[in-house]
Chain A
Amino acid sequence: MKKLFYLAIGAVMLSSCEKDPDMNQLDSDFTVYTQYDEVADFSSASTYYLPDSILTIGDGMKAIYWKDDNAQSLLAQVASEMNLRDYQRSEKKEAADLGIQLTYVETNTQVTGWVGGGWGWDSWWSPSFWGPYWGGGWYYPYPVSYSYSTGTMVMEIVDLRNAPVDETTQTQLPVIWQAVSSGLLSSSNHFNLQLVERAIDQSFTQSPYIQNNVNNK
Chain B
Amino acid sequence: MKTIYHFCRISILMMALLVGFTVNSKAQHFPDELHFNLDWQVNAPVGYDFADKLSGWGMNFEFGYEVTDRWSLGAFANFHTNHGYVGRETIQLSPNEALTTDQQHSSFQVPFGVLASYSLYDNGYIQPYVAGKVGAMYEQNTTYLNTVSFYERPWGFYVSPEIGINIHPLKYGRFGFHVAVYYNYATNKTNLLNYQEDGKNNIGFRVGICF
Contacts and interface: CB of A to CB of B under 8 A. Distances in A.
A and B from one assembly?
Answer: yes
Interface of A: 2, 5-6, 9-10, 13-14, 17-23, 25-38, 142, 149-151, 182-184, 202, 206-207
Nearest to A207: B98
Contacts, number: 102
Contacts of A150: 147
A25 B85 contact: yes
Contacts of B59: 13, 17
B65 to A, nearest CB: 16
Given A23-B144, A26-B102, A38-B96, A10 B108 contact: no
25 contacts: A13-B79, A17-B57, A17-B79, A18-B140, A19-B106, A19-B108, A21-B105, A21-B144, A22-B104, A23-B104, A26-B102, A27-B102, A28-B146, A29-B102, A32-B99, A33-B97, A33-B98, A36-B96, A142-B96, A149-B147, A150-B147, A183-B146, A183-B147, A206-B100, A207-B98
A18 B79 contact: yes
Interface string B78-100: 01010101001010000111111
A32 B140 CA distance: 25
Contacts of B81: 17-19
A182 B146 contact: yes
A202 B104 contact: no
Nearest to B147: A182
A34 B61 CA distance: 47
B145 interface: yes
* Size range of the chain B interface in the assembly: 35 or more
A206 B106 contact: no
Contacts of A14: 77, 79, 110
B126 to A, nearest CB: 28
Contacts of B14: 9, 13
A30 to B, nearest CB: 7
B7 interface: yes
Contacts of A19: 3, 7, 55, 57, 81, 83, 106, 108
A86 to B, nearest CB: 21
Nearest to B106: A21
Interface of B: 3, 7, 14, 17-18, 21, 26, 55, 57-59, 61, 77, 79, 81, 83, 85, 88, 90, 95-106, 108, 110, 140, 144-148
A20 B102 contact: no
A10 B61 contact: yes
Contact of B104 (A25, A28, A149, A206): A25
A20 B77 CA distance: 21
B100 A31 contact: yes
A149 B147 CA distance: 9
B101 A32 contact: yes
B96 A206 contact: no
A2 B30 CA distance: 14
Contact of B146 (A18, A30, A38): A30
A31 B83 CA distance: 20
B99 to A, nearest CB: 5
A37 B95 CA distance: 10
A35 B95 CA distance: 9
B97 A35 contact: yes
B48 to A, nearest CB: 17
A31 B99 contact: yes
6 tightest CB-CB pairs across the interface, nearest first? A19-B81, A19-B57, A31-B101, A32-B100, A18-B108, A21-B104
B144 A35 contact: no
Given A151-B147, A184-B147, 19 more contacts: A9-B14, A10-B61, A17-B81, A18-B79, A18-B81, A19-B55, A20-B106, A23-B104, A25-B85, A27-B102, A31-B100, A31-B147, A31-B148, A33-B100, A34-B98, A38-B96, A149-B147, A182-B146, A206-B98
